[in-house]
Each structure stands twice: as structure tokens, then as C-alpha cells.
Amino acid sequence: MRAGDALRPLRPLARAARRAATRVPLSAAGSLGAAGALWIATSPSLLPRTWWMWAINGAASTSCGYAVGAVGSRALRTALRTGLRALPSPSPLRARRLPRASGHLLRWGGGTALIAISTVSWLRGASRQGEISRLVGQEPKSLATPVVGTAAGLGISGALLLGVRALTATGRLYRAALRPHLPPPAVGAGSALLTAATGAIAVDLLWRGQVLARAMERAERANMLLSPGLRPPSSPLRSGGPGSTQLWETLGAAGRRIVAAGASADAIARATGAPALEPIRVYAGRRTGSSLEQTVAAMLAELDRTGAWEREVIVLFTGTGTGWLQQWSLSAIEMLTGGNCATASLQYSAWSSALNYLLDRRTPQQAGRLAFEAVRARIDALPASRRPRLLVAGESLGSFGGQAAFADAEDMLERTDGAVWTGTPGFTPIAGELTRTRERGSLQIAPVVGGGRHIRFATAPADLLRPLRPIGAPEAAPFGPWEAPRIAYVQHASDPVVWWSPRLLWEKPDWLRERAGRDVAPAVRWFPWITFWQLAADMPLSGEVGGGHGHSYHEELVAVWAGVLGLDPAIDRRAMIAAIRREGLPRG
């Protein structure tokens, strides 16, 4: 028998499945749930939205709202039907159909009211985007942005609904195919397993076979890209320069930008008014087939070659997924130490931080741990009188990976001479524990730990000197002396990378109760499920807003590093900041 002949009896079932996916009318309760979710989704979050941020937020919210409404109404109908069966036949409680005219009037009236409320809610949400833009120093976007984004989000929601209906129809198809061959109890279980397997295979093919594979391919290509605006360093004190064990081409895109930037000794001297040394910048790129241990060994070889152990300060950075480091942080250290420092890092991946979060959070932690242990061991082997101060730093996923070198905060204080962690993700264990055990009355966005003696959290440099209080509350007394070793956690109130967490799905966070952020709109509220997706949509472009907001940590790092190095963070360093802008940042 040919395959076509064998499948002929199933063709009517396949046609029925297609009809079920496309022709079954929308659930009224589901539509109401989707509309309600969309009203909430238009509420403001931490950052102004692009069209695709509107689309993600709208699609996730309306899909969830429709599912809750449809499933809830079906469960309610089932419960009512079961209860009514138990009533006597002539019972007045039995449902009676409305006259056809009344039913039409109810549907049209309800639909009109739904559209009117949705329109008002949408216009209000769109107008609030201007307020958020001004709070984070951006120009408000045009009305076309929410229009296009909302339309795209509704389109995605429709596609998801069709996909779910097609999967449901597939389950019916499996039941019909299994019914002649299996006993009734086994038909339901068998069709459920086959339907689940079909859905899992479809999602896996789409997600891993398309989305993730293409994202990884793009990341690898971007890592090999040679920017025409960048040139190899001419200083032998930089990786990729004359005499370096690391070839310029093998440093990766992020590494090349790191070693090509930064001010020279002359520029530092002009900015500070004092003699300066040429700073050392060491970086080891990720080579195909090399292990993390080999990459760490390559970084140590560069530290040996450049004479980094003779400098006053060594700062070990853990990079983000691509190997990126915050240039403001690097340049601030070099300016504040008069160039008498060495900065070192390595690349452990070419993927973005988002891909590393989804697929491999272990490697950033392993990289941070191996690099620190190796550098700490080298410094400890030196005579005590010749040991440089060892500081650690990282931003975003780099902060998560760098802190993995330590068992807890006490271990960090014992084994380092200071640290600066910026934009630390909420899933970082040490930062999370410090926040949970903060002093009573202190805020989640700027916890007070141990009276600020060694560890201080700051949303802005002023918070290093005085605990932050909610807007309108009296100011707290200033901190006492900041004793070495000093650790600073810098986290903006408007940074979604810091505040996003799976717990947002079901739990209102303290930072929304506190209402303490200087750059967070007062209208921001928490809603189950929806706030989770709002902040998730905020994250990808959170580093594109102006410095001092979102995930952009720029000139405030000069004051932060000054405090960690034992200098006065309140001193005016505008000349230094201007020099970093002019000569410390990459130009290619």
C-alpha cells in the first residue's frame, strides 16, 4: 500500500484540524482578558519604549490575558453546568437563552465599550512615554512608535493563538487516530503525550534551529570583525602592541576596542597636573580550541611581559558575554592613579550577555574564579613590601561572573583591596544576599550594609556619602569613614538589568513599594506577569540611554573609583571627566 493510500482516511481529520485553528470564534471572556491585560501593559515601565518593545510587551500581556480569560470562563461554565444538573428540571435557576435582539445588543454594546476603554488606556500610556524619556535624558518618540508597536504586538498575539489552536486540533487528530486501536483510558494519555511531543519538537526547531543558531552565528561573525576605525596600539604596554604575545586579530572585537582606547601618560598628566606613567592594559582573547585555563595563562603572560606586578594597583576586570569592558571604568582608574596601574581581563565567550544567561551562566563564573585565583596567587608570591593592591570590577554579566570568585562578601573583603560592581544582575548571589540582609529601614535600591563601613550601594555618587531615602523623607545622617577595603555596588533605579527577576511574575518587589528612584516615573506599578515582561523588554536597549540612567554607567564612575581608591569622591573632577571623553574612549 502506498503512503498516500494509508493517510487517505486521516485527510478529513486534517482538514477539520485546520478549520478548528482558524474558524472557531474568539472567546468573549478571552477577548475581555486580553483587553484588560493590554490596558495594564500600556502603563509605564523603567525606560521609554521602542516599537519592538511595545510589540513584545503587548504580545506577552494580551496572550496571557486571553488564556486566563478563556480558561477561566470554561472552568466557570463547567462548574455551573455541573451544579445545574443537580437541580430539578423545572428549577428557575436553569439558564434561559436571551432573545436574539438582546444578545446582539449586548455583544455590540460590550464590544464598543471595550474598544473605547482600550483606546483611552492606550493614549494615556503613549503620552506617559514622554515623561519617562525626559527622566532618562532622551528625546520623546513620535506617536508612530506605539502605533506600530501595538499593531505588531497584536499580530504576534494572533499568531500565538493560531499556534495554540493548531496544537489543540493536533491533539484531536491524535485522539481520532488512536481511538480504533487503544482502549478509552489509553487514548487520552497517548494523545496528550503525542501532542506535547509535537509542540516540544516544533518549539525546539524554531528556537534552537532558527533563533539561537542565527544569534550565535551573528555573534561569532561580529567577534571577528575588524573595525576600520581602530588601529593596533603602538605602546608595548598594551596587548596587541609591539612585543605582545596576543596578536591584534585574536583579541576579538571587544578586546581590540579596549586596548585601542585610553589616554596616554601625557594626556593623563595634562588632565591631573601631575607627572604620570603610561598605563598598562592587558587582554587575552578567546582562541578556538583553547580552554579557559589557557586563556588565563595567556593573560598572566601579558602581565609578566608588561611588568604589571611593579605597578601600585592591579585591577582585574571580568567582562560581559562578548568580552566588553566599561571604558569609563578603565579610564577612571588610569586617571586617578596617574597611570600607575595595570588593568587586566580576558574573553570567555563571543556571545552576548543575553545568550550567555540563557545557555551558559557557568562559564562567566568559571572565568571570574580562575582569573582571580591566578592573579591572587601571583601577588601573594611576591614579598609583602612589593605587592600591588588588587582590585576587582565588572559590569552586568561581568559583575555576576567576577563575584563568583568569592564565597561571600566577607571573603571578598578578605582577599581584595576593593571592588566596583556596576549594573549587577538581580540573580547574582552575593549582591542578592547583601540586599536581603540590609539594615532595617534602608532601601532595596541602595541598601545599607554594616553601617557603610566597607560596602556601599549607590544609585549616584552622593549615595556613597549619605544613605539614600525616599523622595520627601528627611535625609539620613552621613556615613562614617569609609574604611579599606572598600566595595561599591553602583545600580541605577532605572536599570532593568538590576531589577528584572523571575519573581516579578508573582511578587511585588520592595523597590516598587519604596518609590525612591530619582529617574523612575511615579506611575510605575507592579502587575503579575506584565511587569516581568515590561522589564524584560526594557533590558536590550537599557545601555542606550544617557549616562547616569538605565544600564549606562559613565562619568559617575570617576567619583565611585575615587572613593574606592581612598580619595574624596565629592571633589570636582570635571577636567578629568572631560579628558576621558576626549581621549579615553574608543573612536572606531
Give the pLDDT of residue 364: 93
Q: DSSP per residue over 405-437, as a string?
A: TSSSHHHHHHH-SEEEEES--TT-HHHHHHHHT
pLDDT in the model for residue 190? 74
Tell me the three state secondary structure of residue 229: coil
Rounded-to-integer distance, Cα 78 and Cα 81, Å: 5
Handedness of CA 587, 329, 252, 278 (dihedral sign): positive
Beta strands across the sheet bearing 418-422 = 280-284, 341-346, 313-318, 389-395, 418-422, 486-490, 455-458
* Contact predicate 384/329, CB 8 Å: no
Task: Write down the pTM of the prediction.
Answer: 0.87
What is the tens place of the pLDDT at every residue in 287-296? 877 899 999 9
Residue listed under C-alpha cell 437541580 = 87
Q: What is the pLDDT along the chain (588 residues), one digit of tens a residue?
A: 444 454 455 455 455 555 555 566 777 777 788 888 888 888 889 999 988 888 988 888 888 888 888 888 778 877 777 765 655 555 554 555 556 655 556 666 666 777 788 788 888 888 888 888 888 888 888 888 888 988 898 888 888 888 777 777 777 777 777 778 778 777 777 777 877 777 677 666 666 666 777 777 787 787 787 788 888 999 999 999 999 999 999 998 999 999 999 999 999 999 999 999 999 999 999 887 789 999 999 999 999 999 999 999 999 999 998 899 999 999 999 999 999 999 999 999 888 888 788 788 899 999 999 999 999 999 999 999 999 999 999 999 999 999 999 999 999 999 999 999 999 999 999 999 999 999 998 999 999 999 999 999 999 999 999 999 877 777 888 999 999 999 999 999 999 999 999 999 999 999 998 877 788 988 898 999 899 999 999 998 899 888 899 999 999 999 999 999 999 999 999 999 999 998 877 754
β 418-422/486-490 pair status: parallel
Instruction: Give the number of residues written for the chain.
Output: 588
Dihedral of alpha carbons 33, 34, 37, 43, sign: negative
Q: Which residues pair with 317 in a beta bridge?
A: 393
Instruction: Output the nine-digit C-alpha cell for 265.
Output: 601618560
| Per-residue pLDDT, 114 | 72
DSSP string, 480-519: ---PSSEEEEE--TT-HHHH--GGGGT---HHHHHT--TT
Whole-angstrom distance, CA of residue 458 vs CA of residue 492: 8
Distances (CA, A) of 365 to 300, 488, 578: 18, 20, 35
Beta pairing partners, 488: 420, 456
What does the DSSP 8-state code read for residue 451? G
Radius of gyration of the chain (CA): 29
